[in-house]
Amino acid sequence: MLRIKLLRMSRGMSQWELSRAGGMSPGRYSMIERGLIEPTSEERARLAAVLGTAPSSLFRQALRSLPVEAVGT
């Protein structure tokens, strides 16, 4: 799982919310989050700003999964 998904989920954001805050279509964001396409450097910077992290940290593989409580039921 890419770190961007963990960051998004830990902030309680939907893909739609993050895509809109990051200035892109939900479909494009979904493909980025699934690793099907690479974001542009501008998209990477906008997503990082929304999530409050460094652009370089968004697309590393996550070392651990979210706790069950963070995902919800």
Q: Identify the architecture of domain 1-51 in CATH.
A: Orthogonal Bundle (1.10)
Residue 54 CA to residue 29 CA, distance in Å, equals 18
| pTM assigned to the model | 0.78
Q: Quick one: angle between helices 3-10 and 26-33, nearest 10?
A: 120
Amino acid 73: pLDDT:
41
Residue 19 CA to residue 27 CA, distance in Å, equals 8
Residue extents of the structural domains in the chain: 1-51
Amino acid 57: pLDDT:
85
For residue 6, pLDDT beyond 50: yes
pLDDT per residue over 10-68, tens digit each?
999 999 999 999 999 999 999 999 989 999 999 999 999 999 999 988 887 655 554 54
